[in-house]
Amino acid sequence: MLCSRCTRLPLVSLWASLSLFFLTVSAWAISPELQHPETYRGNEQITGWLMSEKFDGIRGYWDGQRLLTREGKVMYAPSWFTDNLPPFPLDGELWAGYGQFETVQATVLDTTPSSAWRNISYQIFEVPHASGDFPARLSKARQWFQHHEAEHVRIIPQITCTGHEHVQRFLATIAQKGGEGVIIKDPTIPYRDGSEQRVLKLKYAQYMDGTVIGHTPGKGKYLGLMGSLTLQLKNGVTFNLGTGFSMSQRRYAPRMGAVVTFKHYGFSKNGKPRFASFVKVKTP
């Protein structure tokens, strides 16, 4: 016959395991069903659509009770940040200013909320699953915050687009401020999650050159090919460039010392280009 102590130990162990499991699960929710814009190509019929600034932060989905990442992970925002948010969903960007992406990332993904949240604003760009067209959905959020003050919440202003030249001028003004890009949206469509062809994104890309100082072998589907190039910029900063290459370019990689052009979307705090993608090898 087993002693009572022997039977208690497995039960205690099981209880501890279950507690750890549910504690871990509680930090995650089901991934929210988000709307995803298509890439702007310049041949769409966009006159009369609404356009707004695309902010470079961390996407934050408010499900009516919790603030979630796009993957469904719970953000541990301080109570003052969420107290006056509505009982219905919101979609927006958590933002701390131009060039502060890494600050936002470190702040909102920390499991212990800090005073750094005071520098974060919630830039609202959609009210998921609300009825009506796009302006009506934004109006629902606007009416809520008229009666529930939240200084850190801002509903992103929308501008009526007069055409493609208007988009490019608007993008230029955003780029001068150090912004990321533009969102262009058909105001008549109801809310739909998933990829949406009537919602477009246009980012401001910058172009730079770098010198090849190394090659990293590929893995997986790139096994036996070039995986990435190590580039050195004129200021001495080095980084790995691994996207934008065709299979042929990976098979016959640019030689050591070659100068390549790549596009990117700003810099990290360490001076490395963000979201860099290969464009071409410069001719001597």
pLDDT for res 3: 55
Among residues 54, 234, 263, 280, the one annotated as catalytic is 54
Query: Class of the 206-281 domain?
Result: mainly beta
pLDDT for res 24: 44
Could you report the average pLDDT of every consecutive run of 10 residues in the chain (284 residues)?
A: 49 45 51 91 95 96 96 96 98 95 93 96 98 98 97 98 96 92 97 94 91 96 96 96 95 96 88 92 77
Question: Is-catalytic flag, 282?
Answer: no
Burial class (CB in 10 A: 0-12, 13-18, 19+), 225: middle
Phi, psi at 77, each rounded to 5°: -75, 145
pLDDT for res 20: 44
pLDDT for res 139: 98
Kindly list the domain boundaries of the chain, sorted by start residue: 35-203, 206-281
pLDDT for res 28: 57
Q: Are 212 and 260 in contact (CB under 8 A)?
A: yes
Assigned CATH topology for domain 35-203:
D-amino Acid Aminotransferase; Chain A, domain 1 (3.30.470)
